[in-house]
């Protein structure tokens, strides 16, 4: 759909919400190499395969891996990977902290955020062993969604694309963009369209219709590829960190839901919810810094070290 001679590894994909609904979905955005999104989309449409490999290290990808691949015995692996990777995300704080023009209050807030992220990792590490204990799910009950049939309709593809942002968002409010990897030297023009448009085009291709553009749901919109570059390394690093932390919040909420289905002790559910709230507050605070580096920020939430989970959660 882009150009027949481009390698998949040289295509980057981006997701964002339309401005009219952005506030309802936490101004969510994301993106990365398209091959991962395709690998995630395929089992959504055709059902999962037997082996999905180890959890990815990137938190955006880990979020997708958890939501689409992780079965009932893989929550601990996802949380362990999250705990291991969170401290590495603080490397993204180095560019802004080394910026001489950064206001002192903002610098202090970011230093507190660094410590809080590391405390979060420790908290998650203490909670994750609870998911290793044998447990049984209630019969005929599952928190996951049944896999679609073998022949997805355009609306199935559209819905799967929109779900990368949220299961509650309308597909027309999800904007997808394709852009070239920097190593390609800009071999094609960055393009953007709604999930609805891409759903129709992908359906046409999946069914072997060469005239995929016949659907023509809407014209391509040219993207301005310079905002992050113009904002500088400081803004780009903080935007990246904010997105990573939002993904961490989604992973923690996902684990919190599983803790309910696994009937784990109530304190595990509470700790996961508290950690999800904290990491999202950090993400929201960090996201405000590039736009207004001199703005006053609320104090970083203090984290209370959790109690070690029971090695044998009681059945309820």
Cα gap 224→312, rounded to integer Å: 54
Of 283 and 302, the one with more pLDDT: 283
Question: Tokens for 256?
Answer: 């919190």
Contacts of 51 by beta carbon, 8 Å cutoff, 6+ apart: none
- Residue corresponding to tokens 């393009």: 191
CB 243 within 8 A of CB 60: yes
The confidence score (pLDDT) of residue 124 equals 95
- Tell me the sheet residues that pair with 175: 16, 194
- Give the pLDDT band (50/70/90) at residue 214: very low
Of 191 and 89, the one with more pLDDT: 89
Show the beta-strand stretches assigned E in 110-225: 174-180, 191-194, 221-222
Cα gap 223→217, rounded to integer Å: 18
Q: Report pLDDT digits (tens) over 237-295.
A: 787 788 889 889 989 988 988 888 778 888 999 999 999 999 999 988 888 885 555 55
Per-domain boundaries in the chain = 8-288
Lateral strand order in the sheet of 29-33: 29-33, 11-17, 174-180, 191-194, 221-222
CA distances 237 to 15, 99, 148, 233, 297, Å, are 18, 12, 37, 6, 18
Query: Over 80: is that where the pLDDT of 305 sits?
Result: no
The model carries a pTM of 0.59
The confidence score (pLDDT) of residue 228 equals 37
Cβ atoms within 10 A of the Cβ of 216, count?
A: 11
- Give the pLDDT band (50/70/90) at residue 33: confident
């Amino acid at each position: 759909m882009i150009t027949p001679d481009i390698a998949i590894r040289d295509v980057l994909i981006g997701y964002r919400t339309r401005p009219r609904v952005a506030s309802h979905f936490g101004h969510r955005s994301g993106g990365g190499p398209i091959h991962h999104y395709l690998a995630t989309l395929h089992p959504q449409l055709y059902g999962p395969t037997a082996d999905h490999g180890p959890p990815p290290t990137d938190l955006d990808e880990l979020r997708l891996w958890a939501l689409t691949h992780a079965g009932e015995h893989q929550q601990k692996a996802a949380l362990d990977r999250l705990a291991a990777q969170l401290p590495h995300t603080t490397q993204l704080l180095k560019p802004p902290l080394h910026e001489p023009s950064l206001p002192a209050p903002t610098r202090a807030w970011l230093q507190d955020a660094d410590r809080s992220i590391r405390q979060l990792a420790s908290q998650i590490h203490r909670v994750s062993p609870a998911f290793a204990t044998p447990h049984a799910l209630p019969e005929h009950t599952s928190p996951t969604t049944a896999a679609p049939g073998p022949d997805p309709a355009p609306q199935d593809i559209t819905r799967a694309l929109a779900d990368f942002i949220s299961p509650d968002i309308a597909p027309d409010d999800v904007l997808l963009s394709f852009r070239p990897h920097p190593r390609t030297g800009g071999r094609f023009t960055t393009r953007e369209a709604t999930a609805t448009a891409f759903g129709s085009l992908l359906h046409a291709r999946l069914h072997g219709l060469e005239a995929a553009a016949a659907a023509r749901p809407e014209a391509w919109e040219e993207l301005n590829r310079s905002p992050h570059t113009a904002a500088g390394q400081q803004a780009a690093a903080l935007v990246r960190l904010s997105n990573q932390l939002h993904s961490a919040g989604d992973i923690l909420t996902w684990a919190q839901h599983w803790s309910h289905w696994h009937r784990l002790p109530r304190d595990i559910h509470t700790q996961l919810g508290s950690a999800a709230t904290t990491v999202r507050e950090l993400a929201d605070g960090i996201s405000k810094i590039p736009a207004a580096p001199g703005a006053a920020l609320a104090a970083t939430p203090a984290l209370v070290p959790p109690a070690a989970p029971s090695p044998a959660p009681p059945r309820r």
